[in-house]
Amino acid sequence: MPFQFPLRVYWEDTDAGGIVFYANYLKFFERARTEWLRSLGLGQQRLREQTGGMFVVTDAQLRYLAPARLDDELIVTAALQDHGRASLTIVQQALLKTEQSPPLLLTEGSVRIGWVDAATMRPARMPAPLLERITPSP
């Protein structure tokens, strides 16, 4: 079961085509990743203060299948797909809540985030306690 984050589509998210602007799914994905990390006890502002590091996105892929509209309720998922010592790959979906089940898949993608030193922006190994929280041992 991937992590699930609910959100609502507001005016700010839509464009003159009457649908959610394509870049905004990357906002939605970021919110879900942030809440997934928070659910593991990892607040990014605090991480940065404690470790001097932060995540930056290095790759993103999106496939848009169906549009979302004003007032729609979405579920955005995040699930760890893969990881190294300095990066994580997370698969994500935006689904439309419907009266019927299951929800309708609108957009899916994957995002690779790398750990960097916030001062230099250079890639760095994730601190061990961070990686342990994200990748529970079996």
Q: Which residues bind a copy of itself (CB under 8 A)?
A: 8, 10-12, 14-19, 21-24, 26-27, 30-31, 34-35, 38, 43-46, 54, 56-64, 66-67, 69-71, 118, 121
Nearest distance, CB of residue 71 and a copy of itself, angstroms:
4
Reported for 127-130, long-range contacts at CB under 8 A and 24+ positions apart, including other chains, are 127/51, 127/53, 130/42, 130/47, 130/51
- Residue 77: enclosing H or E segment and its boundaries? strand 73-83
Nearest distance, CB of residue 131 and a copy of itself, angstroms:
20
The yes-or-no answer on residue 15 being catalytic is yes
User: Catalytic residue numbers?
Assistant: 15
